[in-house]
Amino acid sequence: MSKTAIITQEISPLPTIPVKAHKGQMGRVVVIGGCGGEVMMAGAPVLAANAALRTGAGLVQMFVPESIRTSALVMTPCSTARALKNDARFILSGLQEFAADAVAIGPGLGTTITSDVLAAVLGGLTIPTVIDADGLNLLAELGNYSWANAARTVLTPHPGEARRLLAGRKVDLVLDESQDARRTAALAIVEAYSCTVVLKGAGSVVTNGHRLYINGTGNAGLATAGTGDVLTGMIAALMAQQMEPFEASILGVYLHGLAGDFAAEELGRRALIATDVLGYLPEAINDHELTYSA
């Protein structure tokens, strides 16, 4: 893999909606996440699921621990939920039963599944995949593990997770806040894992090793819990609608930041929370669609 990449600013249009479409044709997304125990996390998979629906997915199912399944469903009334077990065959069987077109792994996952189960799940996947949050931490634990579907996988680390991913492959690299360092780190993760990478932060970097995009939307108000989960659901939904991982990642990052900009304009950056990004996604999507219809 080259250490350099062609810079692109091309942002794809949203997937076309067939005139006679039904929900089964608009992409089926599974979100694997959430954790129970003393500290519970239901919000992260809920945000990802709702974001997938807002980005056009026709059907969404969450795989979450039984202890949070009811509360997750209350917060995501348009999705369904399956109890999550630390069992790769159970997870893969559930994905097949739902006929998933894309899967997002990691939002709020905690230690609900173990790294060996993640490895077995990745080894059995043939559909586009987004790995975020605790899914990335589990992936880092796997060291030099590789899987056949890596080229159809998107990793969405923040800088701390990026450092862990690089350390997991014993890549010694300084990652600071400079854009040059961030580009170098994103390309190094691609080389180590053979995936598309979204390195989040101010000027999020998206690269597949051959092309590289620096995002221009977004603001500091997005530095709040849950906004990354929204982005994960968005990218998964776009891939479920047949977009390629790199193009889906660029469009997802762009629309996510634009929704954050619209939200900050109305609400201010300080008060912005992740559900506000969800609320302004329709405005961002409509704005982008108008660009292509003009």
Q: What is the pTM of this model?
A: 0.97
Task: Give me the tens of pLDDT residue by residue for the chain, a chain 294 residues long.
Answer: 445 799 999 999 999 998 888 999 899 999 999 999 899 999 999 999 999 999 999 999 999 999 999 999 999 999 999 999 999 999 999 999 999 999 999 999 999 999 999 999 999 999 999 999 999 999 999 999 999 999 999 999 999 999 999 999 999 998 998 999 999 999 999 999 999 999 999 999 999 999 999 999 999 999 999 999 999 999 999 999 999 999 999 999 999 999 999 999 999 999 999 999 999 999 999 999 998 876
Rounded CA-CA distance 178/267 in Å is 29
The strand pairing partners of 197, in sequence order, are: 155, 207
Residue pair 207/5 in contact (Cβ under 8 Å)? The answer is yes
Can you give the pLDDT at residue 1? 41
Residue 111 is which amino acid? Answer: T
Residue pair 257/198 in contact (Cβ under 8 Å)? The answer is no
Hey, what are 206's tokens?
Answer: 């998206």
Residue-range domains of the chain with CATH: 23-288 (3.40.1190.20)
Torsion-angle region of residue 68: left (phi > 0), alpha (psi -120 to 50) or beta?
A: alpha
The residue among 151, 146, 248, 259 whose CA lies nearest residue 206 is 248
Helix, strand, or coil (residue 52): helix
- The tens digit of pLDDT for each residue in 9-64 reads 999 999 999 888 899 989 999 999 999 989 999 999 999 999 999 999 999 999 99
Q: What does each C-alpha distance from 293 to 16, 62, 191, 280, 283 come to in angstroms? A: 12, 34, 37, 20, 15
Q: What does each C-alpha distance from 155 to 150, 268, 280 come to in angstroms? A: 10, 30, 24
Q: Nearest 5 degrees, angle CA 274-CA 276-CA 279? A: 120
Can you give the pLDDT at residue 3? 59
Residue pair 254/11 in contact (Cβ under 8 Å)? The answer is yes
**Which residues, in sequence order, are CB contacts of 183 under 8 Å at separation 6+?**
205, 207, 212, 214
The residue among 114, 202, 187 whose CA lies nearest residue 155 is 187
